[in-house]
Amino acid sequence: MPTYSALTTLPGPEAAEALAAAMERMEPAPVGTGVFEIEDGSGLWEVGAYFAEAPGEATLMLLAAAFGAAPFALSALPEIDWVAKVRRELAPVEAGRFFVHGSHDAHRVPEGRLALQIEATVAFGTGHHGTTLGCLRAFDRLLDEGLSPARVADIGCGTGVLALAAARALPGAAVIASDIDAVAVEVARANLGINGLEGRVACLEAAGFEHPAIRAAAPFDLIFANILKGPLVELAPAMAAHAAPGGLAILSGLLTDQADAILGAYRSEGFAAVSREDLGEWSALVLRR
């Protein structure tokens, strides 16, 4: 049977959250709702919900009108195993010394590369997205320049690919990975086992640096943060507080036209720009504390 999606946009996070809460009281009730800021400078937020049964169009019209939202776009989604589809179609990713692949491409790892097996899952970060690829490429270049951090943090780790890359490339480093999403944390832990890196990365559920174990492990010589513009700006003071003097931060999850704003926020906290790489519409920044 198909799944139904209903999507709309409206200005402001408060109204968007209120609309999502109202949608959760619909009949039939949605199986999931989400609220996301549209990172294009418009100030609009997207509210979406998924339904196992077709929602009433009249109800959606009334909700949109009541909360000042655009008319809902209602779609029936075909029943597809998206994870299986992605696994079939994703080719390995090469980022310098790193070779990121799924289980179906394990036989293709070139000699001398650091292999990372990352499966397509509900958590973000297979290495294919320009943001993750940009972080891996930046890390690879820093390693070529002799970088050897003793303490590494991956904030907003998703599948844990960046933390795993650090653990693989830096056998003696202490590595911590955190994510606000409990599912992502479990996926990252599973990927440690898949890659034979059990015990090499501490995977924690936390918002930013808000975990006693993260604070105890600071200051960090290298911090990855592949998230979004808004959280990156909010994290700038905490990033400075948890980075070692001279420590590096590799940031992504931002569009090319957002990079200057991120640089400004971090410069005000004592960071200096080291490098920037644009991959398509995405940027990856390397900053030094």
- How confident is the model at residue 253, as a pLDDT? 86
138 and 271 fall within a common domain:
yes
- How confident is the model at residue 87, as a pLDDT? 57
Q: What is the dihedral of CA 120, 122, 123, 129, to 10 degrees?
A: 50
| Residue 43 belongs to some domain of the structure | yes
Cβ-contact 155, 222 below 8 angstroms: no
142 pLDDT above the threshold of 90 = yes
**DSSP per-residue letters across 236-251:** HHHHHHHEEEEEEEEE
Query: Where does the pLDDT of residue 121 fall: very low under 50, low under 70, confident under 90, or very high at 90 and above?
Result: low
Cβ-contact 92, 108 below 8 angstroms: yes
Total domain count, the chain: 2
The CATH number for 46's domain is 3.30.70.260
Report pTM.
0.70
- How confident is the model at residue 110, as a pLDDT? 80
Cβ-contact 223, 248 below 8 angstroms: yes
The CATH number for 186's domain is 3.40.50.150
| Residue 87 belongs to some domain of the structure | no
Can you give the residue range of the structural domain that contains 61? 3-77
